[in-house]
Amino acid sequence: MFSDCNDLLRYCESECVEIINFKIVDRAGRWHQLSIPVERFDERTLTEGIGFDGSSYGFLTVEKSDMVFIPDLSTAFEDPFTEHKTLVMIANIYRLEGGERVRFEDDPRFIARKTEQLLADKGIADEIFLGPEFEFYVLDNAAFKNDVNHMEVYLDSSQADWNSGLKEGGSGLTIPPQVAVTTLITPLTAATVCGTKSRPTETGLTRCLQRPARLNFCACLT
């Protein structure tokens, strides 16, 4: 999307971007993020990176937790869901060793790159595609309880198999909720295309989420 830092800053100025958001991922697939005002972003951010406490992210123990992440300019995209216009970049993780930055071995992006290189070196494949599998569930009810002597999680959906025999209030073949689910999914799908300039504020997504209907809980799992 951008060739260098100046290219990015020109885009931010022309598109009125307010926030730069950086994301790193751990081996469990959880995103960790940090945001700065666009005025604080400069060339040093791309060369020296931003320091953080790796123990807070579960990467390293406290006594050796000084770490740095360096944004990957090629991953930049505009977040279509934020109220304040935000540009997002995924970053590579480094640990500090003898005053030098060394790639963190448990960074999934580093693991993926080493995998690509290994397959190429051994002549197994010229190209490999690695990525997460996204799933989500739209639920009518989600509740949990965590006491000293009792733990419970309760999930329910009118379209679930266990509700197929209900005489009233829904069944496994209910049509209207499916229409509502489509109304929810379509704008989400359209807005998550990288680089999109559509911002789903007053779209079908907003209208769907404002309905007091059965789509009052959406669990997004990776």
Per residue in 190-207, pLDDT (tens digit) is: 766 644 444 444 444 443
- The verdict on 117 and 142 lying in the same domain is no
CATH code where residue 26 lies:
3.10.20.70
170 falls in which pLDDT band (50, 70, 90)? low
End-to-end CA distance of the chain: 26
Strands 86-97 and 141-146, by their bridges, are unpaired
In tens, the pLDDT along 100-116 reads 899 999 999 999 999 99
- pLDDT above 80 (res 212): no
Asked if 150 and 93 sit in the same domain, the reply is: no
Q: Indicate whether 19 and 115 sit together in one domain.
A: yes
Residue of higher predicted confidence among 79 and 1: 79
The answer to whether residue 203 is domain-embedded is yes
Calculated CA dihedral for residues 196, 219, 206, 185, nearest 10 degrees = 60
Among 95, 121, 147, the domain boundary falls at 121
Q: Which domain holds residue 20?
A: 5-121
Using CA atoms, how far apart are residues 100 and 211, in angstroms rounded to an integer? 54
Distance CA 30, CA 23 (A): 10
Could you tell me if 117 and 140 lie in one domain?
Answer: no
Is residue 157 within 8 Å of 172, Cβ to Cβ? no
The C-alpha atoms of residue 125 and residue 110 are separated, in whole angstroms, by: 18
- On whether the CB atoms of residues 138 and 215 are closer than 8 A, the answer is yes
pTM: 0.66
154 & 104 share domain:
no
Alpha-carbon dihedral angle through residues 12, 77, 88, 111, given to the nearest 10 degrees? -140
What one-character DSSP code corresponds to residue 21? E
* CB contact at 8 A, 217 and 141: yes
Q: Are residues 48 and 87 in the same domain?
A: yes
